[in-house]
């Protein structure tokens, strides 16, 4: 379902997170993010996709949340979408 939007289609679904925001994000939103670990981050209009190859719980990645939003992994997003379609 949500896989078409996922820039990390080969990632394990539980290791790919999506941060959803109410308002569109500025293009420079991720400028202050320190990407020294294995994580990969892709900014979209109102979402940030994050691939956590070692799992979310082990990540040291910190993204400043100056905008209201929430994060879910792709598995959860797909389950929520399935509920809205059925």
- Residue spans of the domains in the chain: they are 2-85
Using the predicted structure, report yes or no on whether residue 82 has a pLDDT greater than 80.
Answer: yes
Full-model pTM: 0.85
Give, in degrees to the nearest 5, the angle at Cα 45 between 18 and 64: 60
pLDDT at 8 over 90: yes
Burial class (CB in 10 A: 0-12, 13-18, 19+), 32: exposed
pLDDT in tens, 20-77: 988 888 888 888 787 888 999 999 989 999 999 998 888 888 777 776 778 899 989 8
- Are the beta carbons of 35 and 53 closer than 8 angstroms? no
Say which DSSP state 45 is in. Answer: S
DSSP summary character for residue 8: -
Distance CA 73, CA 17 (A): 4
């Amino acid at each position: 379902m949500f896989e078409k939007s996922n820039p990390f289609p080969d990632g394990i679904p539980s290791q790919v997170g999506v941060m959803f925001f109410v308002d569109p994000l500025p293009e420079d939103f991720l400028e202050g993010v320190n990407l020294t670990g294995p994580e990969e981050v892709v900014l979209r209009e109102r979402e940030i996709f994050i691939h956590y190859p070692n799992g979310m719980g082990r990540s040291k990645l910190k993204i400043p949340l100056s905008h209201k939003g929430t994060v879910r992994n792709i598995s959860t997003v797909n389950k929520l979408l399935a509920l809205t379609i059925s």
